[in-house]
Structure 1
Amino acid sequence: MEKTFAITPWKYALLTTCILISALNILFFSCGVVTWGSASSIYGGYAAALCGAAVFAAAFLGVYVSLKESYKYSIYYLICTTLVMTLLATYFFTYSSMREQLLRQFEDRVKRLFDEKSIHDDTMQPIHSLFRCCGLEGPQDYLAKEEGALPGSCCYAADCSKSWNINDEGCATKAPRLLQLQSDINYYTCIAMFALEILGVFSAYFMGKARKLIKTKDDETPINEN
């Protein structure tokens, strides 16, 4: 009973923390890649993906540590999480300094893609599909210039025969608004994950300490304290 009482609270604290980190990381990863990618920043998208993968790896290690109740692996977790926190902090400060620039780049990109469109080359297709919008100001941008023809990307499942399938809001307003939301989610989930990583470090440290001080029957060699 002594072992269970000493280790169990920290074990489940670490497990819960790692699960929460993994859930938040899904939002961080997806919104980060979309935000950087929409602004045509390839390396930024890679950086968000790298951070997301590192966070997932550390979280899965934390889950293993909590289930194994391992002192040795708790040390590995502490080292990995410290590295991940450094990576997250670097990403956060870099991203914070570039957020407004990325949004401006995206607005310029939307206007440029609209200017480059043609009947045979729907350059707006990625924007239409991702943000469920149409043209700059709305479908009228195409209806006035393309003799009533809408590109399939302006409509749900490329079916423009039904009015309710048509995306009726322009990309000049809807796309930046949605990208701002994606940017905010990426920003705040990064902060939340960093805070949870700190909780995970404390939980792993005290669980490992309890495991070290108590003689156990698992595969590790017991450590006797003088």
Structure 2
Amino acid sequence: MEKSFAITPWKYALFTTCILIALCNIFFFSCGVVTWGSTSSSHGGYAAALVGAAVFAASFLGVYVALKESYKYSIYYLISTVVVIVLLAVYFAIFSTMRSQLLSHFDDRIKLLFEQRSHQNDTMQPIHSLFRCCGLNGPQDYLAKEQGGLPASCCYAFDCTVGSHIFEEGCATKATRNLQMQSEINYYACIVIFALEFMGVLTAFLMGKARKLTKIKDDEAPISED
């Protein structure tokens, strides 16, 4: 009973914390990749993916540590979490300073892609498909200039024969608004993960300490003679 009482609260605290980190990291990972990728910043997308993968790895290690009640692996978790915290801090600093610049660059990219479109090369297709929008201001951008022809990317499942499949909102408003939301989710998810990582460090340390002290007590306990 003494062993279970000493370890169990910190064990489940660590387990819960790591699960919350993994859940928050889903939003951080996906929104970070979309935000950087939409602005044609491949290096930023790789950085978000790398940090997200590191967060996942550390959180899964924390779950393993909690389930195994391992003092040795709790040390590994503490080291890996410190590394993750440093990576998150660097990423957060860079993203915070570049966020407005990324959104501004995205607006310019949409306008450039729209100007470069042609019948043979639908340069707007990635924007249309990702954000479910059409043209800059709406389908009228194509209907007014191209004799009633819409690119297939302006429609759900590339099927423009059904009126309800057509994306009615322009990318200059919908895509920009959507990307703004994605960037905010990535920003705040980073803050939440950062806080949870510190909580994970605390709970892992206390669980490891309880496990070590319990082991010492077990080793020092006298052997009963029947």
Shorter-chain TM-score tier? over 0.9
1:80/1:162 Cα in 2 relative to 1: closer, same or farther (>3 Å)?
A: same
Paired positions, count: 220
Cα deviation per residue 1:75-123 (whole Å; 9 max; x = unaligned)?
0100000010000000001000000000001000000000000011100
Give the equivalent residue in structure 2 for 1:147: 147
State the Cα distance separating 1:69 from its structure 2 match. Answer: 0.2
1:192/1:223 Cα in 2 relative to 1: closer, same or farther (>3 Å)?
A: farther
Tell me, in whole angstroms, the C-alpha distance in 2 between the residues paired with 1:223 and 1:46: 49
Counterparts of residues 55-134 of structure 1 (less than 5 Å): 55-134=55-134
Counterparts of residues 25-40 of structure 1 (less than 5 Å): 25-40=25-40
Give the equivalent residue in structure 1 for 2:136: 136
Secondary structure in 2 aligned to 1:167?
A: coil
Secondary structure in 1 aligned to 2:164?
A: helix
Give the equivalent residue in structure 1 for 2:212: 212
TM-score, length-scaled by structure 2: 0.95
Tell me, in whole angstroms, the C-alpha distance in 1 between the residues paired with 2:115 and 2:106: 14
Tell me, in whole angstroms, the C-alpha distance in 2 between the residues paired with 1:59 and 1:98: 27
Cα deviation per residue 1:21-64 (whole Å; 9 max; x = unaligned)?
00111110000000000011110000000000000000010000
Tell me, in whole angstroms, the C-alpha distance in 2 between the residues paired with 1:106 and 1:223: 63
Give the equivalent residue in structure 2 for 1:219: none
Tell me, in whole angstroms, the C-alpha distance in 2 between the residues paired with 1:108 and 1:123: 14
CA contact (8 A) 1:136 1:172 kept: yes
Cα root mean square deviation, aligned: 1.3
Tell me, in whole angstroms, the C-alpha distance in 2 between the residues paired with 1:55 and 1:200: 12
Give the equivalent residue in structure 2 for 1:192: 192
CA contact (8 A) 1:212 1:223 kept: no
Cα deviation per residue 1:171-221 (whole Å; 9 max; x = unaligned)?
0011010000000000000000000000000000000000000128xxxxx
Tell me, in whole angstroms, the C-alpha distance in 2 between the residues paired with 1:134 and 1:43: 28
Tell me, in whole angstroms, the C-alpha distance in 1 between the residues paired with 2:158 and 2:48: 31
CA contact (8 A) 1:38 1:106 kept: yes
1:72/1:145 Cα in 2 relative to 1: closer, same or farther (>3 Å)?
A: same
Secondary structure in 1 aligned to 2:90?
A: helix
Residue 94 of structure 2 aligns with an amino acid whose one-letter code is T
Secondary structure in 1 aligned to 2:133?
A: coil
Tell me, in whole angstroms, the C-alpha distance in 2 between the residues paired with 1:187 and 1:52: 13
**Structure 1 runs not aligned, ≥5 long:** 217-221
Secondary structure in 1 aligned to 2:215?
A: coil
**Structure 2 runs not aligned, ≥5 long:** 222-226
Secondary structure in 2 aligned to 1:120?
A: coil
Residue 16 of structure 2 aligns with an amino acid whose one-letter code is T
CA contact (8 A) 1:103 1:180 kept: yes
> Which stretches of structure 1, 4 residues or longer, exceed 3 Å deviation after superposition?
222-225
